[in-house]
Structure 1
Amino acid sequence: MKVIIIGAVAGGASTATRLRRLNDEVEIKIFEKGPYPSYSNCAIPNFLSRDVKSYENLLLNSPESFKTRFNIDVEVNSEVTKVFPEEKKIEIKSEGKTYTEDYDKLVVATGAEAIVPSFIKGVDLPHVFTVKTVPDVVKLDKFLRENEKKRVTVIGGGFIGLEVMENLTRAGFEVSIVEATNQVMAPVDYEIATIIHKEIHDNGVDLYLEDPVSEITEKEVILKSGNKIETDAVVLAIGVRPTSKILEVAGAKVDDRGYLEISDTYETSLKDVYAVGDVVKKEDFMLGGLTNLELAGPAQKQARALADHLAGRKSKPVSVIGSSAVRVFDLNIACTGLNEKKLQSDNIEYKTSYVIPMDKVGIIGGANPIFMKLIFDEEGKVLGAQAAGRGTVDKRIDVVAAYIKMNGKLEDLYEYEHAYAPYFAPPKDAVHLAAMVGQNILNGDVRCVTMKDLRSLYEEGAYIVDVREKNEFENGHIKGAHNIPLTEIRNRISEVPKDVPVYLHCRSSQRSYYAYTFLRENGYKNIYNIQGSYLWFSLYEYFDDLRLNREPIFTKYNFK
């Protein structure tokens, strides 16, 4: 059997090497359009800051290593230009020559290409770049350093945009980032994104939200609002689209966004032609159907499943829940499962819990708060989670992701047994606390609103009680709030009205929950705990106050 693979990065290289490990007799040949096979595309932006010292460190294998280790032939700088499914042949263009190769099985792992929007005037100028491949990032880096350019505008606030922004900033460039929507990093909800916005601002980056690009000139990026950003270079990072044209022309079925349609065994509508990676969608574990998720992990899992099938083993389609993580300067962000935006658009009922515990025992040096959000349904089934913080947020989200894949519920998360020691985590970790708060909400032990409701409550003149200590209150509070510390509330209960709704908060919602239970047990019915409390309130409001030039609702922000 002769297997030809188009594309030598995550999907293609993984299919080839797994198949070789299962079958040493099959003939395997890979054609790669670019000069490098099997590179670490996720680490490409890190070359800009020299966290990756040389672009050569991004290269994981060479054609020679594929041959000596796996007896796999790899042809680089070789573009497959046509597929002839009836004849089981492909046409290749390399070094000015065109030739054909036959196959028994064809695997298409062409991935996705960066979107260059034609509706933006000036995208074809020589100082406009994308960062999708190793040659892309080398070209950008060379342009900036050899021409002593200093000002860079990044268009797009997704993963690639954020990573390029950070690495360029750390390399000493003056960076602006433009996002057409109201937040960066679309997979997380707004209350997590606001924490990222502040981190970006605090590191000297100019962040433009809800202001799409209308034109790029030699010296400026012009936004829809009329704002003009002086710039020496522009990086387009507004998303990717599947590189499927070669098979579409050959007659393969694609969906309305260009993703190749595949069977449970990754076979396209063309016989003996398969596809994996970013050129296809993945099974949606959460909602059923298919979803796009352009990440190396799912691509490699698909590749393994396809290789098993080609080797005659049973395999099943890879399903995804959308786990991802990113670092933005000193802030770590991770998420998994469904977010509120998706649940709302699909009219799915859900509830949320918010907690702000430390990532390790607080008296240990280096402990940092974790801002964690857990999403669940009325039955307690876990639907998603998001977290941000300067500590290890990713391992908390990984735990939730594992339980989601097992259809776990809140009680399962609460009972999960973690590896505890003061340097690693508190006895009740963020995951436990988020599940506990969720259980309290479902059991009716507490009624909550969130930081998203705070501004409207303030504008309506709601009765807000701050249960922090007096010195904390004096260091910053919601304008018009009433300070009744938790340590005094038993003696001052008469000051809490029963004839109007009362909204309680503290620094992290823990002390205000204690106050809530005390008031509840003493006959108060119309009370609410504001999830997030002052620490998250400040982060949620801060950057929007700046960019919208609006009046703060606090006497002073608190971020610690």
Structure 2
Amino acid sequence: MPPKKKSKSSSAKTIVVVGAALAGPTAAARAREVDEHARIILLERNTRVSYAMTGLSLHLSGEVASLEELNREREDFFQSVYNIEVRTRTEVVQLEAKKKLLHLRDEKGDSTLPYDRLIFAAGASSLHPIGLKAAENFRYFRTLDDLAAIRAQLDSGARRFVILGGGSMGAEALDGLVRGGADVTLVEKKLRFLPDYAPEISSIATAAQEHKARIVAGFKHTDFEYKDNRIVAVKVDGMRIDTDFVVGAIGVRPRTELLKKAGVRLLGDGSIAVNERCETNVKDVYACSICVSVPDGKEHVYIPQAAVSDKTAQVAGENAAGGKAVLRSMTASQIIRLPGIEVGRVGLTCSQAMRKFGKANIGSVFVHGRNTEPYMPGSEGISLKLFYHRKKKQVIALEAAGKDIKSRLDTVAAALAGGLTLNQLAMLDLAYTPAYGTARDALNVAATVALQKEAGLTATTSYEEIRAARAKYFVVDVSLKARHAGFHDMHIPLERLRESTGQLAEKFKKSRAKIVATLSESGRRGHLAMRILKARGFTAVNILGGKKTS
């Protein structure tokens, strides 16, 4: 006997999804996969449904030729494949949570829409640059409509672009515009490009752009010069930068005012505090996308990234339809393609880690390695900064720069989810063949160095520490050939160090310095030199990262 069909009238519920950029469509699709009979309505105040909020730079670069390729799954796709009602140009003006009622406004006027379950996926709004007036040659780097406007300027011959903001969003805009043939200047108010990254990684990323784009960071004031409703120049602390077009990428703010008025709990940054099921504190109201903060132990953390939007959307969509999905480890994994280099990170930032665990408990090491064996054609360097908990010897985060870094980031993402220790990471048996890696991967090396540091087998310092107290350090370049003239006090190749310690001791004593700092190309020879000197009674440290981070 065939199974009885469910009565649609008795079981069907109405699930309304607010917001149709990336997270909203994902949540709606997931809800349909769980419940075939529900009425699912997707609301969007802008002109189109979009999955493609993370590939914007690829259209600017010309690698994705059209917006249609970038965004194939549009309104008609969701209607025909998922049987989802899509309403664009429709704004939600009020939520009455107790009545489970939405007040809407569209081109036809005002209306109301009842729901059984609500998924809020309105995302975030772009932060507006202070002092910038409305101008026809300014757009944010957020939506497909923004992208179309920026691409039209490139196609019309505009070449001088100024990007406001040097975080991940600004970096992606830089990559797309440079590859698209633009003359790009990026301005970042904080001290460094990619300010959430460690100084070593930020410096490597900045140096890689030297002949590709201009980066201006660490300023106080920005002004704009206009002519006929167009920005003709951006002034940074008085320095004038002529421009044809300005792109805003300084950050985002959660778009959650609607929920605040309805009694949904928000955090200080305006994000929605959801639980592991992506539920809010209001019954039958779920939330996802870059307007939510996800649970992290007893705290919540705001991670405005596409991967987190996707994960929260899957959980919110499934549970709104009656499922039992839960969020797992959110590691804030990120990778950015830049001209000539890749940069990425996974886990807490250094400042987040210090707030969570305390500064004294945070250790870090910085190492250089290769993406393949050095003898392979095209072998390139990679640089890793590994953060760990000193007492627990547990991995906290990784930052990376170079080529083929994704596998290292993914490995640490899994390590964080599994609670791996430094000992486990140091001996982790990773896939190896000379064309794709090294027998001892840079990740193994980083974990090993961290263990040595905690065991007192190595000691490091940074260029910043040496510059801040230069007289305290006697710098010895142990490279085969001296290549750091003007910085080191003495050059002794590592191969001759043991036989030259007497000469070194004499000069060190005359210098009245307190510590010998060893210097080499990548830090490896410096570490070996430091061990030799410590064994002979010198107070010695190795300069972190060697010459590559100078």
**TM-score when normalising by structure 2:** 0.90
After superposition, give the CA deviation of every residue in 1:400-458 in whole Å (9 maximum; x if it has no partner): 2211222221101112111100011110001000011111101111222123323235x
Match of 1:193 in 2: 202
CA distance in 1, matches of 2:407, 2:464: 26
Contact 1:220 1:228 in 2 (8 A): no
Q: Does 1:528 align with 2:538?
A: no
How has the CA–CA distance of structure 1 residues 263 and 384 changed in structure 2, closer, same or farther, with 3 Å as cutoff?
A: closer
- Alignment equivalent of 2:530, drawn from 516, 521, 533: 516
Structure 1, unmatched stretches of 5+, are: 538-560
Residue number in structure 2 paired with 1:72: 84
Which amino acid counterpart does residue 297 of structure 1 have in structure 2? Answer: A
The CA distance in 1 between the partners of 2:248 and 2:349, in whole Å, is: 26
Does the 8 Å CA contact 1:15/1:303 hold for their aligned counterparts? yes
Alpha carbons of structure 1 residues 332 and 264: separation in structure 2 relative to 1, 3 Å: closer
Tell me which amino acid in the other structure corresponds to 2:195: A
Confirm or deny that 1:462 pairs with 2:473: yes
1:252–1:268 CA contact under 8 A, matched in 2: yes
Conserved? CA contact 2:475–2:487, under 8 Å: no
Is this contact kept in 2: 1:201–1:207, CA < 8 A?
Answer: no
Partner Cα separation in structure 1 for residue 289 and residue 192 of structure 2: 27
8 Å contact kept, 1:464–1:482: yes
Residue aligning to 2:427: 415
Q: Match of 1:201, SS?
A: coil
Residue 338 of structure 2 corresponds to residue 328 of structure 1: yes
- Residue of structure 2 in register with 1:122 after alignment: 132
Q: Which moved more, 1:155-164 or 1:204-213?
A: 204-213
- Matched residue, 1:549: none
Q: Does 1:145 align with 2:145?
A: no
Shift of 1:532: 0.9
The within-5 A match list for 1:394-409 is 394-409=406-421
Separation of aligned partners in 2, 1:206 and 1:315: 44
Of 348, 352, 364, the residue aligned with 2:364 is 352
Partners of 1:505 and 1:266 lie apart in 2 by 50
- The one-letter code sitting in structure 2 at the alignment partner of 1:141 is R
Asked if residue 162 in structure 1 is aligned to residue 171 in structure 2, the reply is yes
1:381 maps to which of 375, 391, 394: 394
Query: How many angstroms does 1:508 deviate by?
Result: 1.1
Check conservation: 1:211, 1:223, Cα contact below 8 A.
no
Q: Could you say if the C-alpha distance between residues 480 and 250 of structure 1 is closer, same or farther in structure 2, counting changes exceeding 3 Å? A: closer
Indicate the SS of the match to 2:415: helix
CA shift for structure 1 position 222? 4.4
Q: 1:203 pairs with 195, 212, 221, which one?
A: 212
Q: CA deviation at 1:344?
A: 4.6
Matches within 5 A, 1:294-313: 294-313=304-323
Q: Quote how far apart the aligned CAs of 1:318 are.
A: 4.4
Q: Please tell me whether the aligned partners of residues 91 and 98 of structure 1 are also in contact (alpha carbons under 8 angstroms).
A: yes
Q: Which amino acid is the alignment partner of residue 533 of structure 1?
A: G
Aligned residue for 2:7?
none
Equivalent residues in 2 for 1:37-52 (5 A)? 37-52=49-64
CA displacement at 1:129 relative to structure 2:
1.2
Residue 282 (structure 2) aligned to one of 264, 270, 294: 270
Change (3 A) 1:344 1:24: closer
The answer to whether the aligner puts 1:487 opposite 2:495 as a matched pair is: yes
Amino acid paired to 1:501: I
Offset of 1:271 from its aligned partner?
Answer: 2.7
2: distance between equivalents of 1:169 and 1:179?
17
Give secondary structure in 1 for the equivalent of 2:238.
coil
From the superposition, tell whether residues 479 and 249 of structure 1 become closer, same or farther in structure 2 (CA, over 3 Å). closer
CA separation in 1, counterparts of 2:355 and 2:97? Answer: 40
Query: Quick one: distance in 2 between partners of 1:526 and 1:328?
Result: 40
Q: Which of 241, 248, 263 is 1:236 aligned to?
A: 248
* Residue-pair matches, total: 526
Q: For each residue in 1:333-386, what CA deviation from the matched residue of structure 2 results, as whole angstroms up to 9, or x when unmatched?
A: 011123333345664222211111111100001111111111112221111111
The amino acid across from 2:471 in the alignment is E
Q: For residue 485 of structure 2, give the secondary structure of its aligned residue in structure 1.
A: coil
Pick one of 499, 513, 519 that aligns with 1:505. Answer: 519
Instruction: Give the Cα separation in 2 of the matches to 1:107 and 1:216.
Output: 43
Equivalent residue number for residue 183 of structure 2: 174
Does the 8 Å CA contact 1:45/1:131 hold for their aligned counterparts?
Answer: no
Cα deviation, residue 220, structure 1 = 4.1
Residues 4 and 30 in structure 1, CA contact (< 8 A), matched pair in contact too: yes
Matched residue of 2:273: which SS?
coil
How far the C-alpha of 1:42 sits from its partner, in A, is: 0.6
After superposition, the Cα gap between the structure-2 partners of 1:304 and 1:526, relative to the gap in structure 1 and judged at 3 Å, is same
Q: Which amino acid aligns with 2:458?
A: V
When normalised by structure 1's length, the TM-score is 0.89
Question: Cα RMSD (Å) of the superposition?
Answer: 2.1
Q: Percent of counterpart pairs with the same letter?
A: 24
Partner of 2:237, secondary structure, is: coil
- Consecutive unaligned residues of structure 2, counting only runs of 5 or more, are 1-12
Report the alpha carbon displacement of residue 307 of structure 1 after superposing the two structures with TM. 2.9
Secondary structure, in 3 states, of the residue corresponding to 1:303? Answer: helix
1:187 and 1:199 mapped to 2: Cα distance?
A: 18
Q: Is the 8 A contact 1:122 1:217 kept in 2?
A: no
SS at match of 1:491: helix
Equivalent position of 2:6 in the other structure: none
The change in CA–CA distance for 1:225 and 1:526 in structure 2 (over 3 A counts) is same
1:30 to partner: Cα distance: 0.8
Q: Which residue of 1 aligns with 2:504?
A: 496
